[in-house]
Amino acid sequence: MTIRFINETIIYEKSIPNKRGDYLEILSMHYGKHCVSEWKWHVPVGCHPGFTLWSIWGGEGQIMLGKNAYKLSIGDVFFINYKKEVNAYQNEYASLDVRYIDFTLRNPDILCDLLEHRHFDQYHFVLEIFNRFRLAEERNSLPQMRIWLEALITEYQHITPTPAGVYTLKIDELCRGFQRHPELQYDMSELAQNFSLTTDHFIRIFKQERGVTPYAYLQRCRLETAKTLLRMSTLSITDIAGSCGFSDIYNFSRFFQSKTGMSPSRFRN
């Protein structure tokens, strides 16, 4: 399967089998979310009949899959097969925002080689696939749900690590900061000083790593955060503008219109 963005639209091209030539035989699938205070989760071994793709969209916490412990942050995705005991909880002052898809397969062994954890720096792409699945479920469109579940599994399956350059880890950390806190005002010269680089050199290094300038990446994070809040939250557009780093609703609306072709209120409705 190949999936890609064209003008902010996901294009689904073709489903492909696994290495043995098998296709997923999906029996059931369901989208869910939770974002509540004092949340904890415990599942004994074997108490769930299928699998879960479990993604972190906000907040902080920890999950233990058997004896493996993971600190949770935005961009983390887990493939949970319930062959291990599951325990998870959220930090007291950073409630987790989790979206997940439960599913069962006729041929569960097809996914036996999947790793249990991946971290996506470009997590907005994965977020969008989850959202497409949710919308398909709301329309009760099983073929579309199947398409987006297969797309998500394929994206999870085929992410591969790349060799780290001298600045890769620091830029990864900076990008996660942009994603978590798009509301902050960042000074490019100060960021460059943190890398011990001139501003121009810092921008060139960042663009080599990410394909866009730091400012363009930050604006992308602000746009995707705005889309998520408009879709999922009941915040006013003024509050969303502030949460995305804009001083007033007018600058936010002009920015959003220039990127999406529609106003924030029209996008929400």
User: What is the amino acid identity at position 27?
Assistant: L
pLDDT score of 7: 37
**Would you state the pLDDT for residue 79?**
94
**Structure confidence at residue 10 (pLDDT):** 39
CB 45 within 8 A of CB 82: yes
The pLDDT value given to residue 245: 93
Q: How far apart, in whole angstroms, are the C-alpha atoms of residue 180 and residue 186?
A: 13
Q: What is the per-residue pLDDT for 163?
A: 52
Number of H helices, E strands in the chain: 9, 11
Q: What is the mean pLDDT of each run of 10 residues along the chain (269 residues)?
A: 40 41 80 80 88 88 87 88 89 81 91 86 80 93 92 79 69 89 92 89 88 91 90 89 93 93 91
What does each C-alpha distance from 65 to 24, 80, 91, 96, 176 come to in angstroms? 24, 8, 18, 17, 24
User: How many CA atoms does the CB half-sphere of 5 hold within 13 Å?
Assistant: 9
Record the tokens describing residue 54, joined without a space: 């479990």
Phi-psi region of 95 (alpha: psi -120 to 50; beta: other; left: phi over 0): beta
Indicate the pTM of the whole model: 0.58
What is the SS3 assignment for 9? strand
pLDDT value, residue 159: 56
pLDDT given at position 165: 67
What is d(CA 198, CA 157) in angstroms, rounded to the nearest whole number?
38
pLDDT confidence of residue 236: 93
Residue in this structure with the two tokens 């502030």, named with its chain if needed:
242
pLDDT value at residue 155? 85
Which amino acid is residue 231, in one-letter code?
R
Instruction: Supply 180's token pair.
Output: 């978590």
The DSSP secondary structure of 116-135, one letter per residue, reads: SEEE-TTHHHHHHHHHHHHH
Structure token pair of residue 109: 């062994």
**Which residue segments constitute the domains of the chain, with CATH numbers given?**
3-158 (2.60.120.280), 168-268 (1.10.10.60)
| Cα separation, 47 vs 32, whole angstroms | 18
